[in-house]
Amino acid sequence: MDKKLQDQIAIITGASSGIGAGVAKAMAAVGATVVVNYPVDAAKDMAEAVKNEITSSGGKAIVYKTDVSKEEEVKQMFADTVAQFGTVDILVNNAGLQRDAPFTEMTLEQWNYVLSVNLTGQFLCAREAVREFLRRGISNKSKSAGKIICMSSVHEVIPWAGHANYAASKGGIMLLMKTIAQEFASKRIRVNSIAPGAIQTPINRDAWDTSAHLQNLLKLIPEKRIGQVEDIGNAAVWLASDDADYVNGTTLFVDGGMTLYPGFVDNG
Ligand code: NAD
């Protein structure tokens, strides 16, 4: 029997580490050919390691350097992917970063940098993906003409003191995602977000690197465990598959209950 994403071409941004690497491996394991995007030469070895893990398990992957905040680089990544594989079926808009500062000390550079990668990067990649989905239309690989998964965060709804740029970027992703979904649902393009809670990756190392930090973090998570990249990989595979064919314009929270106001648990 065909695997869930058999022969579908998936571009996954920021896939040399963390959640992106986890999603790349999960999608490749169910038959997708994966473009492991990374932003700078320094991340190339990590991207190659993700690719090698996929190919040594019988999957298909290439690595591709692109800074998602650069319009021409994004266009080139899509053009080269289409030239090599014929099309793009799935975009996972995952690349993201933090530059934290108390609000009164946040520089314009910190603000612009986070918005340019986390929000403008998602816009640029989604626009190229939708252009390709419209060009190709529905193929025999999926009921949809194309799928976009935006990696948001619980901070698309939970305010986050000291992280105004990051929270603003994730709040922006929510309505960017819903608007694209609304605009192209009639073309059978599905656009959804995943909002991870606390997932154990390099981006939040200082939240779990000591037992004291981890215990503090777990107070925010009703399930009392930190998430793993496989939790997000599983959700992404489902959202991209035809099993989720009627799911469009929604955010799937994968957070062990972090958005359930855990502070109320002990207050009765
Ligand atoms: P991570 O730091 O391991 O991954 C981020 C990736 O983005 C890195 O591989 C990095 O190289 C890449 N990247 C950075 N700038 C880029 C650019 N300009 N172009 C292309 N790639 C670029 O951290 P992660 O936790 O895996 O984060 C992945 C996504 O998940 C981010 O969007 C993050 O906001 C989101 N997220 C993570 C958590 C968590 O708890 N880990 C929670 C909510 C949301």
Q: In this predicted model, what pLDDT tens digit does every residue of 31-88 receive, in sequence order? A: 999 999 999 999 999 999 999 999 999 999 999 999 999 999 999 999 999 999 999 9
User: CATH code for 9-200+227-259?
Assistant: 3.40.50.720
Residue 166 annotated in active site: yes
Burial-class residue 73 by CB neighbours within 10 Å (0-12, 13-18, 19+): middle
pLDDT interval class at 1 (50, 70, 90):
low
> Bridge partners of 261?
none
Q: Are 23 and 233 in contact (CB under 8 A)?
A: yes
Residue 194 near ligand 1, beta carbon < 6 Å:
no
Instruction: Determine the angle formed by the axes of helices 164-184 and 121-136, rounding to 10 degrees.
Output: 10
Q: Is 22 touching ligand 1 by the criterion CB < 6 Å? A: no
Active-site position among 38, 64, 113, 166: 166
Q: How many CB atoms lie within 10 A of CB 166?
A: 22
Considering the chain, what is the average pLDDT of its residues?
97
119 within 8 A of 68, measured Cβ to Cβ: no
Contact 94, 19 (CB under 8 A): yes
End-to-end CA distance of the chain: 50
Q: Among 17, 112, 128, 152, name the best residue to mutate to test ligand 1's pocket (greatest count of ligand atoms within 8 A of Cβ).
A: 17
Q: What is the ipTM of this complex?
A: 0.99
pLDDT for the residue 268: 60
The pLDDT of residue 180: 99
| Atom from ligand 1 closest to the CA of residue 155 | 43
| Residue 164: C-alpha distances to residues 93, 156, 217, 263 (Å) | 21, 11, 20, 22
- C-beta of residue 245 within 8 angstroms of C-beta of residue 217: no
Angle between helices 71-85 and 121-136 (to 10 degrees): 30
Residue nearest to atom 33 of ligand 1 (CA): 96
Classified as helix, coil or strand, 154 is helix
